[in-house]
Amino acid sequence: MSQISCPECAAENGLNADIEMNEIIVCQDCGVDLEIISLDPPTVDLAPIEEEDWGE
């Protein structure tokens, strides 16, 4: 299993084997949203903070 370091708190987070580009994961330590920006090697960046307004 791949692991990535949270850019916010540096905690190691395991990635599912079927992780996909642009998927959002949540840091298990600080709870920040992280977007998968690369798969080889696995890289994440802070996801834009979304207000709870999906405009449906």
For Zn ion, the closer of residues 6 and 25 by Cβ is 6
Tell whether residue 8 is a contact of Zn ion (CB under 5 A): yes
Q: How far apart are CA 13 and CA 52, in angstroms?
A: 25
Angle (nearest 5°) at CA 46 between 43 and 51: 145
Q: Does the protein bind Zn ion through residue 30 (CB under 5 A)?
A: yes
At closest approach, how far in Å is the CB of 51 from Zn ion?
Answer: 21
Of 24 and 30, which has the nearer Cβ to Zn ion? Answer: 30
Tell me if 34 sits within 8 A of 45, measured CB to CB: yes
Decide: is 46 part of the binding site for Zn ion (CB under 5 A). no
